[in-house]
Amino acid sequence: MHPKFVGEDALPNLHPLGGRKLDAIIVSHSHQDHIGTLPVLMRRQPRARVFMTEPTAEIGSTLLHNSVNVMTRQREEIGLAVGGIYPLFTHREIDRVSERWRPCALRQTYTVAGERVPADSNETTFEFFDAGHVLGSTGILLRTEGRTVFYTADVNFDDQTIARAAVFPERDIDILIMECTRGDTPVPPDWTRANEEKRLMEAIENAFTRGGCVLIPVFALGKTQEILAILHKLRREKTLDFPIYIGGLSTKMTELYDRRAQMGRRQLPRLQLLEELRPFVLNSETIRDAGARAGRVYALSSGMMTPKTLSNTFAQRIVDQPRHSIFFVGYADPESPAGILRNARTNQEVTIDPDRGPQRVRCHLEEFQFSAHASRESLIAFAERLAPKKILLVHGDPPAVEWMRARLALDLPNSEIIVPTPGLEFEV
């Protein structure tokens, strides 16, 4: 589901499939831009088997039910057409289609019929690898007709505060399909996660000294839990206690993280975020009465500050007040409210909610490198280790994709570097 659009405009372009019937739908992870319209695709492909990891299935069901609530609210607020168009699916449909999801284990080879087979099977198979992005996220290895295709999906090759680095194949890949989210963002030469955590703590302390609060726009899945873990470490190391606020969906996602804390690969496996930090929970109703109180951290979704979300609503309250701060800790589309605000200058007028109009930026803005996506340097290194016959570059803004294309073309002259045009078919 496209994060910037609503209604049918948010759907991916499924027309190139035409009348073809899919054998399988394989889901890499449960962020909205990857799983958000799965019920629509399943409605059009009723015989396709659907595969994902067990955490992705659990998170995905929760997220899609929340999406119905959001779409229903959008229909009422914006006046979108009804009659089956919006919401794009219903709670009942999610319950029905999720019964067809087949949870699969990591590092096991499955056929597209869902049967476990040896890795050297002659059938078309797939295998999940831990992608280190968010809970349940995977890269996907396809084997067919003597060829191997590996799709990174969203990946991180570095340890985060909770998520551990990806563990991917290191050889024997013919075709690589690779994300490029951070392709236009070099990593500073002196960057370390420990130093960035220290810089964040100092910035929070400075904000409190000014008599202000801190807003951190975050995605409910993944980024919220990573920031909570960082705040836990900082509060423990600095012996500084301060109230933390999160959003309603973030609470459900954090409950899932806590429940699965000691399952699989994870940093801080004993940390129970909700029990240790005891964050206050805001929702679309209580946010209206939640004042910007000094000495508090508000880690609110959405990460891109989409209009009508908690982070956007709260930002409108503080953006023109110098004592308060907004800290950006992950990716935001340059045209999203978070992207616009992140690139704004002091005293510049910006519009983060069209219904309110322009506001002057007077709050303190700061950016921190806590991305859940792989750095461009680590993506290049991974591709060079594999040296596949073909590399398809996806999931990135045009400047990011172009930087990756140019660098790989230079470093891997024997590999064909392809920037696929949406809707066109490639023979691989």
Instruction: For 128-167, give the DSSP string.
Output: EEE-SSSTT-EEEEEEETTEEEEE--S---S--SSSPPP-
Average pLDDT, the chain: 93
Q: Do 23 and 145 have their domain in common?
A: no
Side by side, the strands of the sheet bearing 101-104 are 24-26, 49-53, 101-104
Rounded to whole angstroms, the Cα distance separating 371 from 382 reads: 18
Burial of 128 (0-12, 13-18, 19+ CB in 10 A): buried
pLDDT single digits (tens) 58-74: 999 999 999 999 888 88
Task: Out of 71, 86, 104, pick the residue that ends a domain.
Answer: 104
Q: Are 67 and 10 within one domain?
A: yes
How sure is the predictor about 192, in pLDDT bands with cuts at 50, 70 and 90?
A: very high
Residues 161 and 291 in one domain: no
Residues 381 and 398 grouped into a single domain: yes
* Domain identity same for 222 and 320: yes
Are 233 and 340 part of one and the same domain? yes
Burial status of residue 25 (CB atoms within 10 A of its CB: 0-12, 13-18, 19 or more): middle
The domain containing residue 342 runs over which residues? 193-367
72-100 pLDDT, tens digit each: 888 877 665 544 478 899 999 999 999 99
pLDDT digits (tens, 9 = 90+) for 93-142: 999 999 999 999 999 999 999 999 998 899 999 999 999 999 999 999 99
- Per-residue pLDDT at 333 exceeds 90: no
CA-CA distance, 5 to 43, in Å (whole number)? 21
Tens-place pLDDT, residues 290-317: 889 999 999 999 899 988 899 999 999 9
* The pLDDT value given to residue 223: 96
Q: How confident is the model at residue 219 (pLDDT cuts 50, 70, 90)?
A: very high
Residues 318 and 210 in one domain: yes
* CB atoms closer than 10 angstroms to residue 79: 8
DSSP single-letter state for residue 288? G
pTM: 0.93
Q: Within this chain, do residues 152 and 248 fall inside the same structural domain, yes or no?
A: no
Q: Are residues 314 and 334 in the same domain?
A: yes
* Count of domains forming the chain: 3
Tell me which of 71 and 179 has the higher pLDDT.
179
Residue 80: predicted pLDDT:
59
Q: Are 51 and 24 in contact (CB under 8 A)?
A: yes
pLDDT at res. 82: 44
Q: What is the CATH number of the domain that holds 164?
A: 3.60.15.10
Q: In terms of domains, do 223 and 362 share one?
A: yes
Query: What is the residue whose two structure tokens read 């005293």?
Result: 347
